[in-house]
């Protein structure tokens, strides 16, 4: 019996350590827990409300972007069609200018050849006149001197015809020289015009294209006002 009593005391002490007694919470602790729970609920509500507002802003921004994309697509499609038409017109104009340039070049070459022929003719006539005029004048002077010395009366009409023919030949030479100079000037002007046409780039409707593009861009900028600031992500 003396040995059994300590063993029972030890078992009762172990049972006390294994099953501790929990004290009930106080009113202050319960109030504090309720306050924390209410604050947590408020924070969750504010966060959810902020997320919903950001979602609405994102949807609104997405709608504006879709509207802008559709508007830009229509505008650029119109611009594409306009550029294709302008390109076709400029290619047609280029082909016409090339044909005109070829025709003008051929005309210039023909005029140049004709001018060379006329120049050769004028030079030949001028050389013949320079060769014949002194001889004719010398012959006329000798004939006149001979008639004066011999005292015979010759045919004055023949001498006059010689003089008139000589004068007419000189006038023809002068006229040909003037015509040659005029043709040379015309060929020079035509050559200068051809050089300008060959060096001048095709402008076509480039200015109108730029105006069209700027007007399209400006109209598209005025159609939609995009919100550039992203929704707030604070929380």
Cα 91 from Cα 82, distance rounded (Å): 14
pLDDT tens by residue, 35-89: 777 777 788 888 999 999 999 999 999 999 999 999 999 999 999 999 999 999 9
Closest to 170 (Cα-Cα) out of 207, 137, 205: 137
Q: Where are the domains of the chain?
A: 35-199+207-223
Cα 102 from Cα 139, distance rounded (Å): 54
Q: What is the mean pLDDT of residues 195-224?
A: 48
Is the distance from CB of 71 to CB of 224 less than 8 angstroms?
A: yes
Residue 205: DSSP 8-state? T
State the Cα angle at 164 between 160 and 165, rounded to 5°.
115
State the Cα angle at 217 between 226 and 58, rounded to 5°.
15
Cα 140 from Cα 130, distance rounded (Å): 16
- What contacts 47, CB < 8 A, 6 or more positions away? 235
pLDDT tens by residue, 146-179: 777 666 555 566 667 777 777 787 788 788 778 8
Closest to 198 (Cα-Cα) out of 207, 190, 209, 208: 190
Task: Provide the pLDDT for residue 29.
Answer: 62
Its pTM stands at 0.39
Task: For residue 37, give Cα distances in angstroms to 49, 173, 235.
Answer: 18, 124, 19
């Amino acid at each position: 019996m003396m040995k059994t009593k300590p063993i029972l005391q030890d078992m009762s002490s172990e049972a006390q350590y294994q099953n501790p007694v929990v004290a009930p919470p106080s009113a202050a602790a319960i109030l504090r827990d309720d306050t924390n729970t209410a604050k947590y609920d408020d924070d969750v509500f504010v966060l959810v409300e902020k997320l919903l507002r950001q979602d609405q802003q994102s949807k609104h921004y997405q709608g504006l972007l879709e509207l802008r994309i559709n508007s830009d697509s229509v505008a650029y499609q119109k611009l594409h069609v306009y550029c294709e038409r302008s390109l076709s017109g400029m290619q047609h104009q280029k082909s016409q200018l090339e044909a005109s340039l070829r025709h003008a070049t051929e005309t210039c070459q023909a005029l140049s050849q004709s001018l060379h022929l006329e120049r050769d003719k004028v030079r030949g006539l001028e050389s013949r006149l320079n060769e014949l005029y002194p001889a004719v004048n010398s012959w006329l002077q000798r004939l006149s001197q001979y008639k004066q010395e011999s005292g015979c009366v010759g045919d004055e009409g023949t001498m006059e015809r010689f003089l008139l023919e000589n004068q007419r030949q000189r006038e023809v030479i002068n006229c040909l020289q003037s015509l040659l100079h005029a043709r040379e000037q015309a060929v020079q002007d035509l050559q200068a015009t051809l050089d300008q046409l060959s060096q001048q780039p095709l402008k076509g409707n480039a200015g109108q294209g730029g105006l069209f593009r700027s007007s399209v861009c400006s109209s598209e900028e005025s159609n939609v006002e995009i919100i550039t600031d992203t929704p707030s992500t604070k929380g």
